[in-house]
Chain A
Amino acid sequence: GNSVTQMEGPVTLSEEAFLTINCTYTATGYPSLFWYVQYPGEGLQLLLKATKADDKGSNKGFEATYRKETTSFHLEKGSVQVSDSAVYFCALKKETSYDKVIFGPGTSLSVIP
């Protein structure tokens, strides 16, 4: 079946450090891929997305590239801030509009000053 795997957390980084959160997926065809972020006490919100191979999604300094050959969608940011402390979820949705969104387990990030 379709699934999403993320690197285990929690991840703790110092401010201005480089961030990578690994995400790999299992799915047939060409799903759309997403990164959602959940700040403390809130619901999830979309951070970025990519809909086809080699697409790069970007937002707020975060980037992720859809790699079909490695079935990956790793999240990166060059310089994290304390305000980036949150839980990050990788997700996929199959081609048909009525398919459900499948989320990874989430990776908790803490950024310390």
Chain B
Amino acid sequence: KAGVTQTPRYLIKTRGQQVTLSCSPISGHRSVSWYQQTPGQGLQFLFEYFSETQRNKGNFPGRFSGRQFSNSRSEMNVSTLELGDSALYLCASSLNVATNEKLFFGSGTQLSVL
């Protein structure tokens, strides 16, 4: 069974640009969550999608958005990039039918904003 796949692995952008990151969950998983990881802030929750609906949202500005497709693949978009958006963006999937389920993480997309 393939794991969670995130593309691209690395991205370099400049301030003001926008970026789209992709996440393909494990087959059969309907929940996809996104996290931002930085050395100073640790793991910050961005949002979670379940069956194409955003079910939870973290405290990020509206420049951060996401969506989920009918095949459970998810994308997140960051518009008007700022230097502080440089981070590792992690995607995680789960079946999300039980409270004690684990999350399966991808290897992340490392975004550098110059």
The digit string for A76-113, where 1 denotes a CB below 8 A from any CB of B, is 00000000000001000111111111111110000000
Tell me which residues across on chain A come within 8 A of B108, comparing CB atoms.
43
In whole angstroms, how far apart are the Cα atoms of A104 and B35 in the complex? 13
User: Cβ of A97 and Cβ of B33 under 8 Å apart?
Assistant: no
* Docked complex: A10-33 residues within 8 A CB-CB of B: 32
Chain A-chain B contacts (Cβ-Cβ < 8 Å), number: 60
Most chain A CB inside 10 Å of its own CB: which residue of B48, B96, B103, B106: B103
Tell me which residues across on chain A come within 8 A of B48, comparing CB atoms.
100
Q: Which residue of B lies closest to A51 (CB)?
A: B100
User: Cβ of B99 and Cβ of A97 under 8 Å apart?
Assistant: yes
Min Cβ gap B41→A in Å is 8
- Interface size of A by CB at 8 A reads 26
User: Cβ of A98 and Cβ of B100 under 8 Å apart?
Assistant: no
* Docked complex: B37-55 residues within 8 A CB-CB of A: 42-43, 45, 48, 50, 55
- Not counting A45-B105, A93-B100, A101-B33, a sample of 16 additional A-B residue pairs whose C-beta atoms are within 8 angstroms of each other reads A32-B99, A41-B107, A42-B107, A43-B92, A44-B90, A46-B102, A94-B99, A95-B99, A97-B99, A98-B56, A99-B99, A100-B33, A100-B45, A101-B92, A101-B103, A106-B43
**Smallest CB-CB A-B distances: 3 pairs:** A43-B105, A105-B42, A46-B102
